[in-house]
Structure 1
Amino acid sequence: MFRDRIGFIVWINDVKAARNLEKYGHLHYISRRLHYAVLYAYAEQEEELAKTLMRLPYVRKVERSYRNEIRTEYNHNVPDQTRFYTF
């Protein structure tokens, strides 16, 4: 039903020119202070999109975001220690 999406961290030289990244995917965030942008696109376009972005004159570096690969489900094997903190 939903297509897999992947995130890119695009390091940029010019913040105003970074607004043009909207035509390559969903532009989520632009950091004016650190000069990077977060861009989401479909996973099947990953390699060709990275090459296309590197050809742009205002792009310094393109990194893939590993946010969707981080484990977010935790198991609770630690015993409950709330009884030690009550009076």
Structure 2
Amino acid sequence: MIGNRRGLSVFLHSLKFSKQLRRYGNVHYVSRRLKYAVLYCDGNKIDEIAAKLESLHFVKEVKRSHKQEIKTEYESKIVDKAKEYDYKMGI
């Protein structure tokens, strides 16, 4: 479960049933004011777990995390100072 974990945002009608979410994965965070929970579960079973969660009476909506789809390797925008001085010399 640690190698391929995916995140789910579960929006609830009532926080009274938030402890029941532990059956479906790791509960990372529960927001009392906005009534949602962040849940991490196995990536291979994400479709099954999301379908089970949506069928529960206390769940409004289940959203999947798109973190796996986002590119996390960034290119450097810092210009190399040596190259910058070569252009300013006017050769």
- Structure 2 runs not aligned, ≥5 long: 82-91
Counterparts of 2:35 and 2:65, CA distance in 1? 16
Q: Deviations over 1:39-77 (max 9, x none)?
A: 000011011111100111100000001123322221113
Q: What root-mean-square deviation, in Å, do the aligned CA atoms of Structure 1 and Structure 2 show?
A: 1.7
Return the TM-score normalized by structure 2: 0.78
Structure with greater helix share of residues: 2
Match of 1:31 in 2: 31
Counterparts of 2:77 and 2:33, CA distance in 1? 41
Return the TM-score normalized by structure 1: 0.81
Q: Give the % identical residues.
A: 40
* Count, aligned residues: 80
Match of 1:71 in 2: 71
Counterparts of 1:10 and 1:24, CA distance in 2? 11
> SS state of the match for residue 72, structure 1?
coil
